[in-house]
Structure formats: C-alpha cells, structure tokens
Amino acid sequence: MSDVSPPPPAEAARTAVVIPAAGRGVRLGPGAPKALRTLGGVPMLIHAVRAMAASRAVSLVVVVAPPDGAAEVKSLLDTHALPERTDFVVVPGGETRQESVRLGLEALPPEYGIVLVHDAARPLVPVDTVDTVIEAVREGAVAAVPALPLADTVKEVEPAAAPGEPEPVLATPERARLRAVQTPQGFARATLVRAHEQITGAVTDDAGMVEQLGEPVVAVAGHEEAFKVTRPLDLVLAEAVLARRRLNDGF
Ligand SMILES: Nc1ccn([C@@H]2O[C@H](COP(=O)(O)OP(=O)(O)OP(=O)(O)O)[C@@H](O)[C@H]2O)c(=O)n1
Ligand SMILES: C[C@](O)(CO)[C@H](O)COP(=O)(O)O
C-alpha cells in the first residue's frame, strides 16, 4: 500500500479537509491538549494533517486549533515537513466539536465543493480510506462515512442515575446491522454547511447532522488503524501501530 494516493481526475471538484483539533482530551488524562501530544515523537495533529495531505485529491487543510493555541499550531505546521502541493490554514476552535467544525467550515474559500471532516484524534488513518471517502462523494454521495462492523454485542440501557449503579438493559440491536463509524467523513460542501446552520441539538458526528436534514448518508469501508485515540490504552496501541509502520518502511 502506497502512502501517497494517485492524482485526482482533472475535472473533479476541489476537496478540502477540516481537522477539528481544539479538544482538551479529558479522557486521555492530564497534559497538553490531545492534538498536541506526541506519538513517536511527533504531535498527533501533524500525523493527522499528513494523513489527509497524503491524498493527492486534497488541496487544502483547515486546522481548528485549541482556542488559545492557534499560534502554536501554525508554528508546528511550519516546522514539520508537509507536502508542498497542499495549502494549510489555522483557525481557533470553539467549546464543542460541533462549534469547532463550524468555525473550520467558515474559513473555506468558495472553490471547494467537497469537504472532509477528520478528527485530529484519528492520526493513523491510511490514505486509502481517505481516498475511498472522497471517491464516494465524487461519485454522487451527499455524505460518506468510513465504517467497520462491531466485534462486541451492543445493548441499549437505561443510563444509571449515579456512576457505578447497575443499568437496566432495554434492548439488543441486531449486531450485523450496526457499524462503528470513523473519520474522515466526506460531504458535498453545501449540504454540510446547511446542516451546521440548521441542526442545533447535540450530535456526536457530522454525518448525524446531515441525517437530521433528511439527506442520505452512505457507509464505505473503514480501517482498523483509523481508530480514535480517546483513552490512555489507545495511545499504547497507536505507538505500536506507528512503530510497526516505521519498521516496515525501514526508518
Ligand atoms: N471543542 C472541541 C472538542 C473536540 N474537538 C476535536 O474533535 C475531535 C474528536 O473529539 P474527542 O476525541 O472527543 O476529543 P476531545 O474533546 O479532546 O476528548 P475528550 O472528550 O476526552 O476531552 C478531536 O480531534 C478534538 O480535538 C474540537 O475540535 N473542539
Ligand atoms: C466523529 C466521531 O469520531 C465518529 O466516530 C466521534 O463521534 C467523535 O466522538 P467524540 O466523543 O467527540 O470523540
């Protein structure tokens, strides 16, 4: 598998990526904002930016930095090697992921018809997954999400009133119909912008907002290495995946 994708067809709509990177990383534990913590000595955000810029279809990456960290993020982008064919913009983020994505969308120049949203917290997504999402949108999907089948059985419960109390199980959804969705999620820009203008309730992903508009969303093949670094154990896994890649690449 190459770590850079083939060039896009000349007539394809231009594609930009918004990377929300403004979260604190509370579940990861005390320390710097999650996106600025290192993996293999390189900030997680830089891994995520490189993963997006590895797609030749991507010509702009908008990084949504921690609200007081835009200068630091700009300096990180200046001091790490990144492809010259890609432009980079940094904007300060907001209180929630949703608000951070909206601020990133507002920074997009008009010529970008396709927008991907990718968590800085998914630093190791392979370029093939990025290209699969872009391809689905180019071929006419309004929204496309990378997704994987589940290994665990999932239960719907009545959430406990206090932590540690038993939770009554309400239902067991049919696992074969469930998917764990990842990022980058890809969109026709106009639809994603409309979703961020109209949908105000709490959501956990951008595709969910598009679903609330009544627009169709398709799931495409995700990848195990696109996992989200959320808790301390995820960092251990991410370091191991990175070490294996470096060994395979011979550096
Ligand atoms: N106000 C926020 C909150 C989150 N994010 C980003 O959204 C992505 C997914 O969020 P998550 O993994 O939940 O990150 P955190 O919010 O940092 O984690 P936690 O909930 O543990 O604090 C991350 O890249 C995070 O930086 C953001 O840009 N702005
Ligand atoms: C967008 C996302 O990564 C899709 O799985 C996920 O919903 C983000 O959730 P988080 O709690 O903000 O990390």
| DSSP notation for 202-250 | --SSHHHHHHHTT---EEEE--GGG----SHHHHHHHHHHHHHHHHHHT
Residue among 120, 124, 113, 115 at smallest CA distance from 54 = 124
Name which of 71, 24, 77 is nearest 47 in CA terms.
77
Task: Give the position, in ligand 1's atom list, of the atom nearest the Cα of 119.
Answer: 24
| Beta-ladder partners of 145 | 219
User: Please, which residues bridge with residue 18 across strands?
Assistant: 62, 117
User: Residue 32: its pLDDT value, please?
Assistant: 92
In DSSP terms, which residues pair with 92 in a beta bridge? 65
For the 14-147+178-249 domain, the top CATH level (class) is alpha beta
Check pocket membership of 34 for ligand 2, CB cut-off 6 A. no
Which token pair is 230? 């959320």
Ligand 1 neighbour 91 (Cβ under 6 A): no
Helix axes 97-106, 189-198, angle to 10 degrees: 130
Ligand 2 pocket residue status of 223, Cβ below 6 Å: no
- Whether ligand 1 lies within 6 angstroms of the CB of 230 is answered as yes
**What is the token pair recorded at 169?**
């199980």
Domains of the chain, by residue range, sit at 14-147+178-249
Predicted confidence at residue 11, as pLDDT, reads 60
pLDDT of residue 6: 78
Which element (helix H / strand E) includes 154? none
Q: What is the pLDDT of residue 246?
A: 93
| pLDDT of the residue at 100 | 98
Q: Are 206 and 192 in contact (CB under 8 A)?
A: yes
Cα–Cα distance measured from residue 198 to residue 195, given in angstroms and rounded to the nearest whole number: 5
Distance 163 CA to ligand 1 centre (A): 22
Q: Rounded to an integer, what distance in angstroms lies between the CA atom of residue 73 and that of residue 35? A: 10
Please work out whether the CB of residue 21 comes within 6 Å of at least one atom of ligand 1.
yes
Distance 46 CA to ligand 1 centre (A): 16
pLDDT score recorded for residue 2: 60
The CB of 38 under 6 Å from ligand 1? The reply is no
The CB of 181 under 6 Å from ligand 2? The reply is: yes
Calculate the dihedral angle through the C-alpha atoms of 191, 25, 87, 225, rounding to the nearest 10 degrees: -80
Q: Any residues with CB less than 8 A from the CB of 84 and at least 6 apart, and which?
A: none
Number of neighbours of residue 63 by Cβ within 10 angstroms: 29
Pocket of ligand 2, candidates 19, 34, 64, 119: which has the most ligand atoms within 8 Å of its Cβ, to mutate? 119
Neighbours of 203 (CB within 10 A): 17
Q: Is the CB of 148 under 6 A from ligand 2?
A: no
Give yes or no for residue 24 CB within 6 A of ligand 1. Answer: yes
The three state secondary structure string of 20-80 is ECCCCCHHHCCCCCHHHCEECCEEHHHHHHHHHHCCCCEEEEEEEECCCCHHHHHHHHHHC
**pLDDT given for residue 3 in this prediction:** 73
> Average pLDDT of each block of 10 consecutive residues along the chain (251 residues)?
71 90 96 95 98 98 96 98 96 97 98 98 98 98 98 97 95 98 98 97 96 98 98 98 92 60
Candidate of 26, 99, 228, 231 to mutate for ligand 2, largest count of ligand atoms within 8 Å of Cβ: 228
Interface pTM, i.e. ipTM: 0.97
Pick the ligand that lies closest to the CA of residue 98.
1
